[in-house]
A = this chain, B = another copy of it.
Amino acid sequence: MATIKDVASLAGVSVSTVSYALSGVRPVSAEKMASIQTAMQELRYQPNRIARSLASKRTRIIAILFPKVEHGIGFSEIDLILEAAKSALRYGYQLVIWTLTANSAEELQELLTQELVDGVILMEVHLGDPRIGVLKKRRVPFILLGRDADKPEETFIDIDFFTTMMECFTYLKGLGHRNVAFINQSEKSFRAGYGPVVRTHEAFSYFLENFEIKGREFFCESDSAQVCAITEKLLAEDPGVTAFISMNDASLPGLIRGIEQRGRRIPQDVSIVSIVSSARPASNYLPAITAFEMDIHTLMDLAVTQLIAKLDGRYAELPERLIACVLRERQSAGAAGGSGF
């Protein structure tokens, strides 16, 4: 591999000139610049990242921190990671994955001490997350992504649950729905203060009044059979329900089945709108599910750019960025009142 020295001697200049030509930190005359360019091309020179990191004390590597993935909002974690990697690459950074297990705090300490990364993106943050303390103490720049507990003092990027819910209500009301049911995630998550569950819960209650819509909410595990039973029960008790909002991709099969087993058609009799979901599952169900999908690209690009801004010390803006989900209309939602129920 060609080194900066090779380039320097081929171009007939000193190594520092080459270095400055590369970084632009110091002006370089046009001629020298030209010969340096030529030399670099000829040698197919690419700076050695490791050496550069050692000298500059910046690795330009960021870590994305994943605790165990179990319940996840959807199936889209892969897209989240890939999108983050893509953004990082675009800005000249590399993304490493850190999977932490039980005693995350200790593991994290060790990883951090190796000084491999400049900053960290934290996924799946929970209330009183021990990782945050570690990061703060070591003064490692970090950013929280999604599903955070309410921690406004940290920089975080999250889904705008409030706006998403509002748009969902607007959409359903526009279609004539006046009686809706909301399938949230588990009550356990709610009690644990899990961000998405709590916030959508609050938003739902709020907009119910605001939009003058009748509605009820159910906390469900990601268990299709259970959701199916609940759906049937609800439809029996209150046949006037014309729409379901689901924040639980995995239980969609149960929802669909429950509705159909009560003899209702989707979307003629009952509509389904999935929120905070990912494209792939939603589009594969039958009927394909109309959904407010996460804007993964925006979410991750923002996370990466904000983190890099912090690393560059040019971070000044608000410590919070909320991204609303975007509507993708498919076949599961339509005008209310088609049937005589």
Chain A residues close to B by CB (< 8 Å): 1, 44, 46-51, 53-54, 59, 61, 66, 69, 75, 77-79, 81-82, 85-86, 89, 94-99, 110, 113-116, 222, 224-225, 228, 250-251, 253-254, 257, 280-281, 284-286, 288
Contact = CB atoms under 8 A, between A and B. Distances in A.
Query: How many copies of the polypeptide does the oligomer hold?
Result: 2
A99 B300 CA distance: 14
A47 B114 contact: yes
B95 A50 contact: no
Contacts of A114: 46-49
Contacts of A94: 96, 116
Given A50-B53, A59-B50, A284-B222, A97 B115 contact: no
Of all A-B residue pairs in the complex, the 10 with the closest CB atoms, nearest first, are A46-B113, A78-B78, A85-B97, A77-B78, A75-B75, A49-B114, A253-B286, A224-B286, A86-B99, A250-B284
Given A1-B113, A94-B96, A81 B81 contact: yes
Given A50-B50, A284-B224, A115 B1 contact: yes
Given A75-B75, A224-B286, A250 B280 contact: yes
Contacts of A224: 284-286, 288
A114 B92 CA distance: 11
